[in-house]
Amino acid sequence: MSISNTMNTIKYTLFSALLITILFVSCEKDYPTGSEFDPYSFTGTDQNGGDWKPILLTNNEQIIIDAPAGITSDSYKSELIAMKTSITAGTDKVSIAYWGNNPIIRWNEIARELAAKYNLTPAPNADGSYPAPSSAKPDVYPYFPFAHPPYACRAFAYLSTAQFDGLIASWHYKYKFKRPKRASTDGMSKAQTTKAVSDSMAQAALTRFGWQWVNQESPRRPVGIAPFYGKLKLWSVPSVEIVRPLPPPAPGSAEFNKAADELLSLKGNLSNEQRKIANWWSDGLGTYTPPGHWNRFATDYIVKYKMNPLRTARVYAYLNMAIHDAGISCWDAKYYYHYPRPIQVMNGYKTILGTPNFPSYTSGHSSFSAAAATVLSNIFPADKAQFVTWAQEASESRIYGGIHFRFDCEAGLEAGKKVAEYTISKAIVDGAQ
């Protein structure tokens, strides 16, 4: 082959690759994982922030910190000299620019990136059940950490509430990091279960309602993800039963047939915009999950309103408490009702995004999004319309993708809002308002 022919082949290959990339990107709504912002002047310093009500600590003086040395002491003068020397010698300006003056945003960004990194479904056990990751044995498969949506929203909640409590104490004492070990007793270690127990849950739903979800994967994994996640300790809701939605319509009923007809109608008639929405909100494996998506939205508004670190931590804390409670409520409904997915009960039906390995009712995306939108609307009331629009779009995306029936999504939206109201009831009495 001549040099000119070789060059033409290379040019053609590069052009083809570029064209494929452009076409792929044009079909997706990209949302960057990083948060680009310049250091800003806070709109307020919340000097009374040390008197706000913490989430996990019993009070802001639960742990006593000794007073720092006086400004005339030798230790203070030594630290001051060391600091000036470091600045004169040349500091790491890249790191300074990255962390800026609100490190809470960066830690949330890091958490989202970690969620994306570890959002992988583990291989099943020999009996088809899922192995449960353990923080006590992180080097044993499935490796810990693990970031499927239920795990991710739990991680976001613990990170955010710990930061919020730590900063309340910091506002009071300067630095404070120790707090009660809620995570070790919230029930997560028992969220996964055996095939025998899983089968009994399916049988209970069949006896109670006349239906049961059956996984449609090939090869089939008979145990879904985290069947007992709905029994985790809630942050704000008194009990999961009081936010449990009413039963879904029976397969074959008029309401069911209407929802099924909608999916069939959409299947061959999705617009480009609807397909983009389905893909953009899918937040599947390798992404920072639906809870991470809403944390990214929150980050943008924190920067927009130039919030200080304490108020930033407050936003993330209540946002993720609500999302976590919504996840618990959603998983309770999923395994209590054990409702089949469209792909199971609609003969020959196929989705455009695959099908999650857990029951259908209610929609997790809808639950997470409604809870998040309700909390953010309370904190940023001027932007409520946008949050509501996003929550509705996230919910609709699961219908466009063929993942859920409309009644799955509507029930999820309603449950998410109810859950968030309990979260807001805590927020409005914490002293920050």
Amino acid 4: pLDDT: 41
Q: How far is CA 409 from CA 263, 322, 387, 427, in A?
A: 13, 18, 17, 27
pLDDT tens by residue, 406-433: 999 999 999 999 999 999 999 999 999 7
pLDDT tens by residue, 167-205: 888 888 643 433 334 666 788 888 888 889 999 999 999
Per-residue pLDDT of the chain (433 residues; tens, 9 = 90+): 443 443 343 333 333 333 333 333 333 444 456 677 777 888 888 888 888 999 988 887 776 677 776 767 777 667 666 665 666 566 667 787 888 888 899 999 999 988 888 887 777 777 777 777 777 787 877 777 777 788 889 889 999 999 999 888 888 864 343 333 466 678 888 888 888 999 999 999 999 999 999 988 777 777 888 899 999 999 999 999 999 999 999 999 999 999 999 999 998 899 999 999 999 998 888 888 999 999 999 999 999 999 999 999 999 999 999 999 999 999 999 999 999 999 999 999 999 888 888 999 999 999 999 999 999 999 999 999 999 999 999 999 999 999 999 999 999 999 999 999 999 999 999 999 7
Please indicate, yes or no, if residue 31 is contained in any of the structural domains. Answer: no
Amino acid 77: pLDDT: 65
Please indicate, yes or no, if residue 82 is contained in any of the structural domains. Answer: no
Amino acid 63: pLDDT: 65
Question: What sign results for the dihedral spanned by CA atoms 126, 131, 137, 143?
Answer: positive
Please indicate, yes or no, if residue 20 is contained in any of the structural domains. Answer: no
CATH for 412:
1.10.606.20
Per the CB < 8 A criterion, the answer to whether 321 and 333 are in contact is no
Q: What token pair was written down for 102?
A: 């609100």
Question: What sign results for the dihedral spanned by CA atoms 55, 59, 62, 63?
Answer: positive
Number of domains composing the chain: 1
Please indicate, yes or no, if residue 175 is contained in any of the structural domains. Answer: yes
Amino acid 253: pLDDT: 97
Amino acid 220: pLDDT: 78
Amino acid 316: pLDDT: 94
Please indicate, yes or no, if residue 391 is contained in any of the structural domains. Answer: yes
Q: What token pair was written down for 240?
A: 């999961």
Helix 289-304 vs helix 103-117: angle between axes, to the nearest 10 degrees?
160
Amino acid 33: pLDDT: 61
Amino acid 189: pLDDT: 83
Per the CB < 8 A criterion, the answer to whether 62 and 177 are in contact is no
Amino acid 275: pLDDT: 94
Statement: the pTM of the whole predicted model exceeds 0.75: no
Q: How far is CA 123 from CA 118, 139, 407, in A?
A: 14, 15, 31
Give the distance between the most distant pair of CA atoms in the chain.
81
408 closest CA partner among 395, 421, 419, 420? 395
Please indicate, yes or no, if residue 358 is contained in any of the structural domains. Answer: yes
Domain that holds residue 322: 104-427
Mean pLDDT, rounded, of the chain: 84
Q: Using alpha carbons only, give the angle 367, 210, 403 rounded to the nearest 5 degrees.
A: 35
Q: Three-state SS for 309?
A: helix
Please indicate, yes or no, if residue 42 is contained in any of the structural domains. Answer: no
Amino acid 205: pLDDT: 95
Please indicate, yes or no, if residue 390 is contained in any of the structural domains. Answer: yes
Helix 309-337 vs helix 289-304: angle between axes, to the nearest 10 degrees?
150
